[in-house]
A = this chain, B = another copy of it.
């Protein structure tokens, strides 16, 4: 004999309540709410009506426990305040929603320890899959993931040893392309402003790709500055300021005619700083960014940059994850979503 629903500790109507009210068994109700076809239309209707009347909302926790699947995936990002990630998160969100998955998201800065903690916290909720940013992780993280056997996608980088799957693009090539673009335009003394956080493969690759192109063209490849790493390095504001500071440092180094930046926000910071110094862009100083953030198209004279297809990358990551979760065959464990050079007025 089941309790009166109103008096049950949880306060929620359960499938049993609905079953009793509709005069069917528990399993029939379960099938109705799972959209299992094996229920007659009449029964289904009656069950749904009673469910509605009782305010029944299925308890996924219970369902997950019984079925071993949670329809939830965990996403680890450096920051939620970084435009860089926003698009890819949105891409994942849209793809996941379409397949009726939900996600939890945790920001861990650039700390491998925090990342490991986040991964463990996720695993406690038994997600069906995980998305990590980048390809560098702590031993603890690797251990946890190995032990879990969970499908994992790493995003933004495809370089480096992969855990399982990855979605990204060739940062090294992209860095080379944007550098060659400036070279082709006749700029000779080209500076490079690095990302404020050291040790990230994707930014190392961008820089090395660009410097290799400079060397190949016989140009100086030592005009590199890297704004100091700050605690809030993952935030947008750090990048704006980093760009401004970077330009100052480069100008101290000597005559610089063009600046390549590891991210659009650095480039925006450079443009603003140039404005403050009375330098015209591109006439006195050419500027190129990386990322094609939304502001790149808006700021006069338009920022030349590498479009990174973050949205598609996020979508691809989620798509691979779901395929793996649902046992569908995967064409390849690495999805290269490419990039494109966007030439605007700044360089």
Contact = CB atoms under 8 A, between A and B. Distances in A.
Interface of A: 9-12, 55, 57-62, 64-65, 68, 70, 72, 79-81, 83, 86-87, 89-90, 93, 97, 102-107, 120-121, 123-126, 144, 147-149, 235-237, 240-241, 244, 268-269, 272, 275-276, 294-295, 297-300
Nearest to A63: B124
Nearest to A58: B124
Contacts of A268: 295, 298
Nearest to A300: B275
A105 B107 contact: no
Given A294-B237, A295-B240, A124 B93 contact: no
One complex includes copies of this chain to the number of 2
The 8 closest A-B pairs by CB, nearest first: A237-B294, A240-B298, A55-B147, A60-B124, A81-B86, A236-B294, A275-B300, A61-B65
Contact of A57 (B106, B124, B275, B294): B124
A126 B60 contact: yes
A65 B65 contact: yes
B269 A57 contact: no
A106 B93 contact: yes
A297 to B, nearest CB: 7
A214 to B, nearest CB: 28
Contact of A125 (B11, B102, B235, B244): B102
A110 to B, nearest CB: 15
Given A240-B298, A295-B236, A102 B121 contact: yes
B83 A83 contact: yes
A299 B231 CA distance: 23
B70 A80 contact: no
